[in-house]
Amino acid sequence: MSEIVPENLLWINSKQAAKLGISDGMLVEVSSSKGAGLIRAFVTDHIHPETVFMLHGFGHEAQRATRCFHKGMSDSVLSANVSDKVGGSPALHDTFVRVRAL
């Protein structure tokens, strides 16, 4: 997978990106009430204008995790410690973020 997706990207709707002054490949800051980090933008029409998306499993700080060490941002930096009541997994859909161009 790391050959197909070598770096985690933040998917953002093209109209929203234009409003924020964000272009494809630009480094942006994503922040929530829990934390913040830097990630490159992937500007696309294939995502709802009120959401953003990033893959889980990237941006680790452990240097031995060579396939994902400092390759994009870790979504866990942004997420509150909330569990999905049905499946028990992290409630990744409950995190509200702010995105800004650098």
Rounded distance, CA 81 to CA 25, Å?
30
Rounded distance, CA 52 to CA 56, Å?
13
Answer yes or no: are the C-beta atoms of 30 and 37 closer than 8 Å: yes
Phi, psi of 83 (to 5 degrees): -105, 145
Instruction: Give the pLDDT of the chain (102 residues) as one tens digit per residue.
Output: 677 888 889 999 999 999 999 999 999 999 999 999 999 999 999 999 999 999 877 766 667 766 666 677 888 888 877 777 777 776 667 789 999 999
**What angle (nearest 5°) sits at the alpha carbon of residue 82, between those of residues 52 and 10?**
15
* Total residues found in the chain within this entry: 102
Identity of the residue numbered 51: T
